[in-house]
Chains A and B, each alone.
Chain A
Amino acid sequence: MKLLFPLIQVVSFFLLVAYVYCKSPAYRLRRSEALGAGQKVALFVFFALISMGGTYLGVKVQGAIANARAIGPVLAGLIGGPALGLGVGLLSGLHRYTFGGFTALACGISTTAEGLIGGLVGLYLRRTAAQDQALSPVTAGLTMLAAESVQMIIILAVARPFSDAWALVRVIALPMIIANSCGAALFMSILSDRRDLYDLAGTASTARTLRIAGRTLDLLAKGFSRDVALRLATIIQQETGVGAVAITDRESVLAFTGLGSDHHRPGTPILSESTRRAITQGEVVFLDGIRDPYRCTGQEDCPLGSVLVVPLLVGQDVIGTIKLYEKAHKRFLSINRTLGEGLADLLASQLARAHFQEQKELLVLAELKLAHAQINPHFLFNSLATIQAITREDSVRARSLLSHLADFFRMNLKRNPELSTLQEELSHVNAYLEIEKARFEDQLTVRIEVDPTLLNLKLPTFTLQPLIENAIKHGVAEMLGPGTARIHIYRAGSGVRIDVEDDAGQFKAALAGAGGLGMSIVDRRLRSLLRGSQGLSVHCEPDRLTRVSIVIPEPQGAA
């Protein structure tokens, strides 16, 4: 039994190695994770070295070596499967064989066999879905016990002369079985403790990401405004605990929260080179504060020292960035870096979804409005009442009005829902105006001035008619005396300007009522269907003039 203590020393040394190993970046053993080829090679090298070290550090006894060689192959087998166990065992066995001695062959064979045993036990436990047991210290200890026993039997069976073998086994069997079993159990225990720690950290960061996702989801459904950005930034800062968080669009800072918020103001344009690079290149920029220090563009004594800038990609377009800052002299945790990049992905997909949702709602709204226009009952009944009266005095005019009415409703039903030419819009307006002129007779004058070269200009369908309808319904029709509505379409600067005016000057009052909906749909359709459109603008001089203007950015397809 005097062999036990030298063996325990050897095993202790291995445990130290195990401890160092699992602290090193090479260690990547995770629960329920299939091993990649690279990981298998790393494990092979590590356990082969452990195993061969076991041979070197062994204690010479009666022409043989009492050793801790078996720990390597058995654990390699348990962790990496039969192939790995067999490989480590074979290599280490060959290595032992070169040392010679009357047990050389027996030890070579038995080391290989032990690796295989470890591998088969591991495989069996995995197959029976006892994943955790394959990597438990108890399994390792028991497997080692069995493997070492098998080794003793092989020595007895293979080594000659038998009497020497028997004498040897009597001396080494008990110490080796005890030392190696305990050693294997402790070795595995160190590895799995470390693994549990990783899993725990992984779980915590997953939980954190999910929590952020949950908290931001509803927020982003409303779109990407400054208010939303601030709440987002606050959530991210709370959850990650970094020094500060900023969210920008392509031009300026939307929100900033945390350290340095006294001079990092929302609304200021983007100054830093790193953010601009993230936006133009669409890549993540990381200034770790050590090799690449972050320098605040605003203020000398800014407390921030490192920054991670992650672009927000919606489709192919960078729509802004998320910036995570950390204090100077504080390490930027790599977990926060990963988290920041993941968050940007998450937010981008949420934004894409919000954008999609908005487009869908817009479409639904526009369709509703369209449906409304198709059956607009008040307009229809008032028109019919007018035509009924006119039939008595002027049947020719009545017939023409009926065909205008039919044209108007037909165009409401049939038109392309997205873009139309100005000419199509004008003929829709014309059909509508013929009816309105008959309803209001001398109370309504309409003037239309259109640059004839613009007739092929494309604009969102149903842009013009709601504007002139608004000018009549909430303008001229609200005047006690006669009124004038005017459509003026002309080139202005690089675009085309459409002014629709009335001389009632009642717009503010109209917005409060039903007029607001139609106008806001026109506005939103302009913004969504024409890139770079500013939507509607309204100029109102009370009791004198209301002018609703739109600018079509670039005359596409104009002659």
Chain B
Amino acid sequence: MMRAVVVDNELNARKELETLLAERGDIAVAGACANALQAIRLIRSVRPDILFVDIHMPKVDGFQLVAMIEPELMPAVVFVTAHDEYALKAFEENAIDYLLKPVQAERLARTVEKLQRYAGPARRSFQQNSVIERIPCVCAQGIKFVDTAEVEFIHSSETGVHLVTGPAEYLTELTLTLLEARAPMMVRCHKQILVNLDHIDLFGRLDPATAFLRTRSGKQVPVSRRYLAGLKERLGI
């Protein structure tokens, strides 16, 4: 049986969909939550086949949430919303279906049919192509949203993935691989580092085989031999 996660910031709307799915009996609800940040954790832990997601949600909307899911975890996506004006965008993001609230059981049945046809083993073809515009980060006061364009580079360590802006450093739960895929200006320059092309101030060479980068705020970033060619190509040098 396919497993689904339901994300909606309105409690009753969420419960209604859970109930409708439970009544059908052919889709198991593996979890439900109220916002995108909870959803990212939930998806990582339960690895659902299907994601029912509202579009209007606080801080990170449904589209951005989908952008933050790692490709290997990407479930089939069904948007559930009262707004019909996002349908086109939803399908551009390779959504399987688009449900309007209040959700009707008959309409949900057609969605499930579609899911059974397209999801399952073939779901890897539903890669989507959103860009992550703001990266949620954990900080002492709660969740901080950092504009991707302000990040100079991102490095991973045992403690997690760190975003470095000019003055500060933040910890995010998103993976390096995901950020590389969904943030086009972020380019891999080292096994553990992505650098923002827009923030490169200097490309320096120590010897023909080794190079380093300097960011606009003067931080030095190593370039490993393995990624040198790709980086040079992206920089057009």
Contact = CB atoms under 8 A, between A and B. Distances in A.
Interface of A: 377-378, 381-382, 384-386, 388-390, 392, 438-443, 477-480
Nearest to A543: B141
Contacts of A478: 58-59
Interface stretch (B98-106, B118-126, B207-215, B224-232): B98-106
A251 to B, nearest CB: 45
A385 B82 contact: yes
Contacts of B56: 477
A439 B58 contact: no
Contacts of B13: 382, 385-386, 389, 439
B143 A480 contact: yes
Contacts of A382: 10, 13, 82, 101
The dominant DSSP class at the A interface is helix
B185 interface: no
Contacts of A389: 12-13, 15-16, 19
B117 interface: no
Contacts of A439: 10, 12-13
Interface residues of B, number: 22
Interface string B138-158: 000011000000000000000
A388 B16 contact: yes
Contacts of B10: 382, 385-386, 439-441
B220 interface: no
Contacts of B101: 381-382, 384-385
B9 A477 contact: yes
Residue among B11, B37, B56 with the most chain A CB within 10 A? B11
A479 B58 contact: yes
Interface of B: 9-13, 15-16, 19, 34-35, 37, 56, 58-59, 82-83, 100-103, 142-143
Contacts of B142: 480
A477 B16 contact: no
A449 B15 CA distance: 32
Contacts of B11: 440-443
Contacts of A442: 11
B58 A480 contact: yes
22 contacts: A378-B82, A378-B83, A381-B102, A384-B102, A385-B13, A385-B101, A385-B102, A386-B13, A388-B16, A388-B102, A389-B12, A389-B13, A389-B19, A392-B16, A439-B13, A441-B12, A443-B11, A443-B34, A478-B59, A479-B58, A480-B35, A480-B143
Nearest to B136: A480
B59 A390 contact: no
A385 B83 contact: no
A442 B14 CA distance: 14
A392 B88 CA distance: 32
Contact of B103 (A385, A390, A392): A385
Nearest to B80: A385
A105 B190 CA distance: 132
Contact of A381 (B59, B82, B143): B82
Sorted nearest first, the 7 A-B pairs with minimum C-beta distance are A389-B16, A381-B82, A389-B12, A385-B101, A385-B102, A386-B12, A441-B11
A214 B72 CA distance: 69
B128 to A, nearest CB: 24
A478 B83 CA distance: 17
Contacts of B59: 478, 480
A392 B37 CA distance: 29
A479 B60 CA distance: 10
Residue among A389, A390, A442 with the most chain B CB within 10 A? A389
Contacts of A480: 35, 37, 58-59, 142-143
Nearest to B100: A381
Nearest to A442: B11
B157 to A, nearest CB: 27
Contacts of B35: 480
Given A388-B102, A439-B13, 9 more contacts: A381-B102, A382-B82, A382-B101, A389-B13, A389-B19, A392-B19, A442-B11, A478-B58, A478-B59
A377 B82 contact: yes
Contacts of B19: 389, 392
A440 B13 CA distance: 10
A79 B13 CA distance: 93
Contact of B12 (A378, A381, A385, A479): A385
Contacts of B102: 381, 384-385, 388
Contacts of B143: 480
